[in-house]
A and B are shown apart, each in its own frame.
Chain A
Amino acid sequence: MPVAPAAPDALLSVRDLRVAFGALEVVRGLSFDVRPREVLALVGESGAGKSLTARALLGMLPRGTTTSGSVRLRDEPGSYAELVGATRPALAALRGRRIALVPQDALSALSPVHPVGDQLAAAVRSVAGVSRSQARARAVAALDRVGIPDATRRARAYPHEYSGGMRQRAVIAMATINEPDVVVADEPTTALDAELQDQVLRVLGEQREAVGAALVLVTHDLGVVRDHTDRVLVMYAGRQVEQGPTHRVLDRPRAPYTAGLLASLPPEDGPADGADGPVGGAPRRGGSGRLRRLPAIPGSPPAPDALPPGCAFAPRCPLVEDRCHREEPGPWTVGDGHEVSCHRWDEVPYPATELFLERPA
């Protein structure tokens, strides 16, 4: 089957990507483009297929999975390398140099028995024909660039001597040290607390600027999406439910799932009275307990082996109607680069607070 063309300026072009464990398809036909310096968020919850998608972009899927569709990485203007079905040596030649992964768990991405600087230097020497001392110098410079204090000394330290935030930054330094065109970061901040999250995302952004790379950021955190990304692709049960410019999707979501996720976040600004009370300060509750109820999406995401027919979100959707149980919707283009997969996208209110207010039993 011929593959739909890539957008003319895309660095990475994905078409109808599917990943299956045996007969069980868990990524079910994703298409998107990533342009130079762009940050694309892949959003979804556990089981939605976002981490498998991230790994599929690098051909790094576990044994027993099959990948189909197309993942093309731009070689030079107008010419692309196809990664789906590429040989191991071909993939190895691209990884790190053209496309790199920042994994979720920094500790397991670093070897415990080698100093961090040596591991970065080895990454340099795996690509470029440089001397050991040149590679070491580049390793120290890379650690310095991601904000590791006293990088010369720290380069000689082992991963266990680093804090969690420093480790995550070291892994970012390693992924970007050979200046790849595309960096795929798989929940790089999930294991970190709020302050470290911000730091790490800033470092990732600075690195992207420094090397001119595009970034694919896998996350389930809509706050991160709002603050750090240009485009967002929202996944549910292996499919795209919505994709578009971040501000358009978050300011005017057209899929009930996206609208429900946004509605169920506690408001960023708390109640005006006593919100910034001192230690052990004034009561913060605005009124009766009922006011504390958040809008919530009922139910749970479906297991990949028990997908409902039609739209996978239908059993949880307050706008569900008969055809949702029969026909998988869309995607349809509803605006400038904004795609949605919902039969009733033009009836989704915003904010969707009322739609998702639970009726207490």
Chain B
Amino acid sequence: MNQPTALLDVRDLVVRYGTVTAVDHVSFTVDAGETLALNGPSGCGKSSTVAAVLQLRRPDGGRVRFEGRELTTLTERELRPLRPRMQPVFQDPYGSLSPRHRVRDSVAEPLRVQGRWDATGPARVAALLDRVGLDPAYGDRFPHELSGGQCQRAGIARALASEPRLLVLDEPVSALDPSVRAGVLNLLADLQDDLGLAYLFICHDRAVVRHFADRAVEMRGGRLVPA
């Protein structure tokens, strides 16, 4: 498990808020192409772990190694070229897209920001929407004109635009209607099979975890406990 080939290798991660230790020496690895589920009750430190892994909040201790590079010691500028390779997908589908941009522009944004926008851009956006099961005509719409499931698919398309190796999925289906959850889970399974993506999958539904994840770890009070 500790072989240097792990895509993501988190060791002794610590996150503190004042005197409260939210994440207390947490260690895990995620290999390329696999799904590691992280579950646990509200307040157990899951979201703090996610933020520290993505370097959205710098951890107070421990290390985060991604594709063989230690992230915790990098500057913001040094992190920038690595960030596209680890993309988050959040719980609230409408919160992940700008309400004022058409879906097409939200999906195109990573390409533009990363300097990869060229004459093929529109076709690539259409292909990404098609890849996540959305009719490319939906690109003209605004997020509020989509259903929750369609919006979550658009958020996944936006994450894919960066050509990531790791998706950090923070409760990606728990806000969705029951009749569309299975479809989004199937999409994530297909993408993993086809693109070799690794998933760090935050989820509190044990049946979903059992079905979807290769391995699972459970968090309580900031620590990993036996599942």
Contacts and interface: CB of A to CB of B under 8 A. Distances in A.
A10 B1 CA distance: 61
B179 A270 contact: no
**What size tier do the contact residues of chain B reach?**
35 or more
B190 A194 contact: no
Contact of B211 (A267, A276, A281, A289): A267
Contact of B177 (A46, A289, A298): A46
A294 interface: yes
Interface stretch (A15-23, A256-264, A338-346): A256-264
Most B CB within 10 A of own CB, among A196, A222, A270, A300:
A300
Interface residues of A, number: 48
A278 B215 CA distance: 9
A296 B190 contact: no
B177 A45 contact: yes
Interface stretch (B95-103, B121-129, B142-150): B142-150
Contacts of A221: 178
A284 B216 contact: yes
A128 interface: no
Interface in B178-227: 178-183, 185-186, 189-190, 192-193, 204-208, 210-218, 224-227
A167 B1 CA distance: 42
A300 B227 contact: no
Nearest to B147: A300
Contacts of B192: 289
Contacts of A46: 148, 177
A148 interface: no
B94 to A, nearest CB: 12
A283 interface: yes
Interface of B: 1, 28-29, 41-42, 133, 147-150, 177-183, 185-186, 189-190, 192-193, 204-208, 210-218, 224-227
B177 to A, nearest CB: 4
A266 interface: yes
A222 B186 CA distance: 20
A238 interface: no
Nearest to B37: A284
Contact of B210 (A275, A297, A301, A303): A275
Given A267-B211, A301-B147, A257 B206 contact: no
Contact of A283 (B150, B181, B211, B214): B214
Given A292-B212, A293-B190, 12 more contacts: A194-B206, A265-B207, A267-B211, A279-B226, A280-B215, A282-B215, A285-B214, A290-B193, A294-B211, A297-B182, A358-B186, A361-B133
